[in-house]
């Protein structure tokens, strides 16, 4: 509506007043010029992860400087302690090669220990459980049977009560061997000593 | 071949436990009296040695180091080596050029007669009734010695008349414990 009224006013002033409307060509061009827009699209790249923001960098203790934020350290005397050295490749020219000495063979050199093994007693287990037929003894019962033992070569013997095994030592230097024996341990009923040791020649069958 | 005249029996063990290897050899007469005893110090391979030798370390230490040293040091050669580890039969026979068998206790009921030796379902494994008042012993022999099992059984049965066949193994163990105890002081 205002545009139509302005057009009527302009025509009347031309008819009656002889005025011609002078217009700026540039403005007319601008009015009629087509707006040119690019058909390219701009890609807006946004990171998927959240933006990392560093509030303050905490330093470990540097000499006497206490742990502080980076901002507080910059500009202080602590920075004077940093020096930049020129890197040289000279040190790599000398490389010491170490030889590993294999000593396993030397470490496994055998030792002779006859004295040691002679001090360790021989043992005999109680074989009573393997007797097919236990011998009968008057007023006593058989508790244990140890065999075979060369009686004349025995220098010392002991009964290991925890295992029931007989421990004994042979005299390895004694030449006389003698016969071999079974050693029986009997429980005596009504006797002065409740236990009794009996040597029985091994050639005498007991089973 | 077995030397029945001397009747010496050898006992040989190689332990690999608690990160160390240790070996011992005991030769006894037929009554169990020691005629020779050798042992090695516990060999503890370093971490670097374990890396350098890799999976060959166990075999190298057992066979090339401990067994070879022990067997070459033994003065009196036994008629038969008795072992506790089946893996040692081959190396011991090769290094000592003497027969070796593995001897173990069993929980089987006794066989009929002393000296009786019966094969089992396993190849090269036999049960031997060494004496008449114990459980039968389990004997493992190498394939090339299966034909000699009757000779081994005869020797072991004769020896069992005068000693307990398995007993020296425990004596070796106690001797090594005594050595270790004495050296730790």
Mean pLDDT, 10 residues at a time, chain A of 207 residues: 82 77 64 66 75 57 52 54 62 70 77 88 93 83 93 92 94 81 92 88 72
pLDDT of residue A3: 80
Q: What is the pLDDT averaged over residues B111-124?
A: 95
pLDDT of residue A88: 58
Domain assignment of residue B55, yes or no:
yes
A98 in contact with B, Cβ within 8 Å:
no
Q: Please answer whether residues B45 and B53 qualify as being in contact, where contact means their C-beta atoms are separated by less than 8 angstroms.
A: yes
pLDDT of residue A70: 53
Domain assignment of residue A189, yes or no:
yes
Other beta carbons within 10 angstroms of residue B23's beta carbon come to 29
CA distance A95 to chain B (A): 21
CA A91: distance to chain centroid?
36
User: Can you give the residue range of the structural domain that contains B164?
Assistant: 9-180
Q: Who wins on pLDDT, A37 or B180?
A: B180
pLDDT interval class at B3 (50, 70, 90):
very low
* Cβ contact B164–A102 (<8 Å): no
pLDDT of residue B179: 85
CA atoms of B76 and B10, how far apart (whole Å):
9
Cα angle for residues A166, B138, B89 (degrees, 5° grid): 105
Domain assignment of residue B109, yes or no:
yes
Give the lowest-confidence range in A55-69, B92-106, B111-125, B149-163.
A55-69
CA atoms of A108 and B73, how far apart (whole Å):
12
Domain assignment of residue B185, yes or no:
no
Beta-carbon pairs below 8 A across chains A and B: 104
Distance between terminal CA atoms of chain A? 143
pLDDT of residue B152: 96
Q: Give, in order, the Cα–Cα distances in Å from A57 to each of A60, A76, A80, B71.
A: 10, 15, 19, 70
Q: What is the count of structural domains for chain B?
A: 1
* Cβ contact A110–B23 (<8 Å): yes
B133 in contact with A, Cβ within 8 Å:
yes
pLDDT of residue B1: 46
B161 in contact with A, Cβ within 8 Å:
yes
Q: What is the count of structural domains for chain A?
A: 1
Other beta carbons within 10 angstroms of residue A135's beta carbon come to 14
- Which class for A200: exposed (0-12), middle (13-18), buried (19 or more C-beta within 10 A)? middle
Domain assignment of residue A45, yes or no:
no
Domain assignment of residue B2, yes or no:
no
- Which class for A63: exposed (0-12), middle (13-18), buried (19 or more C-beta within 10 A)? exposed
B135 in contact with A, Cβ within 8 Å:
yes
- Identify the three-state secondary structure at position B152: helix
* Cβ contact B38–A172 (<8 Å): no
User: Can you give the residue range of the structural domain that contains A174?
Assistant: 120-201
A102 in contact with B, Cβ within 8 Å:
yes
- Which of B34, B73, B171 has the CB atom closest to A110's CB atom? B73
Chain B, 64 to 103: residues with Cβ < 8 Å from chain A are 65-66, 69-70, 73
- The domain spanning residue B103 has which CATH number? 3.30.2170.10
Q: Is the torsion defined by CA of B84, B85, B86, B91 positive or negative?
A: negative
CA distance B26 to chain A (A): 9
Percent of chain B as helix, strand, coil, to the nearest 5? 40, 25, 35
pLDDT digits (tens, 9 = 90+) for B131-148: 989 999 999 999 999 999
pLDDT of residue B185: 72
Q: What is the pLDDT averaged over residues B84-103?
A: 96
């Amino acid at each position: 509506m205002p545009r139509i009224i302005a057009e009527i006013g302009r025509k009347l002033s031309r008819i009656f007043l002889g005025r011609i409307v002078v217009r700026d060509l540039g403005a007319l061009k601008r009015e009629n010029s087509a707006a040119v827009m690019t058909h390219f699209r701009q890609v807006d790249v946004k990171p998927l992860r959240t933006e990392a923001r560093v509030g303050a960098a905490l330093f470990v203790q540097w000499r006497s400087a206490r742990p502080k934020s980076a901002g507080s350290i910059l500009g202080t005397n602590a920075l004077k302690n940093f020096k930049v050295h020129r890197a040289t490749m000279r040190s790599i020219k000398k490389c010491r090669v170490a030889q590993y000495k294999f000593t396993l063979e030397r470490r496994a050199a055998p030792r002779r220990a006859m004295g040691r093994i002679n001090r360790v007693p021989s043992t005999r287990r109680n074989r009573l459980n393997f007797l097919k037929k236990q011998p009968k003894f008057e007023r006593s019962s058989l508790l244990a049977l140890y065999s075979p033992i060369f009686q004349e070569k025995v220098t010392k013997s002991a009964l290991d009560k925890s295992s029931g095994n007989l421990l004994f030592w042979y005299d390895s230097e004694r030449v006389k061997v003698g016969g071999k024996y079974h050693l029986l341990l009997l429980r005596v009923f009504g006797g002065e000593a409740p236990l009794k040791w009996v040597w029985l020649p091994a050639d005498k069958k007991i089973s | 071949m077995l030397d029945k005249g001397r009747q010496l029996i050898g006992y040989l063990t190689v332990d690999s436990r608690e990160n160390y290897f240790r070996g011992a050899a005991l030769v006894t007469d037929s009554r169990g009296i020691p005629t020779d005893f050798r042992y090695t110090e516990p060999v503890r391979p370093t971490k670097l040695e374990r890396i350098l030798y890799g999976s060959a370390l166990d075999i190298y230490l057992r066979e090339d180091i401990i067994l070879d040293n022990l067997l070459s040091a033994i003065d009196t050669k036994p008629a038969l080596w008795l072992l506790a580890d089946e893996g040692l039969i081959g190396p011991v026979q090769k290094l000592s050029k003497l027969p070796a068998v593995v001897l173990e206790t069993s929980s089987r009921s006794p066989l009929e007669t002393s000296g009786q030796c019966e094969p089992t379902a396993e190849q090269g494994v036999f049960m031997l009734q060494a004496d008449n008042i114990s459980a039968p012993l389990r004997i493992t022999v190498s394939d090339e010695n299966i034909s000699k099992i009757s000779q081994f059984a005869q020797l072991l049965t004769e020896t069992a008349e005068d000693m307990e066949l398995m007993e020296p193994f425990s004596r070796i163990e106690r001797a090594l414990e005594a050595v270790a105890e004495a050296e730790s002081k």
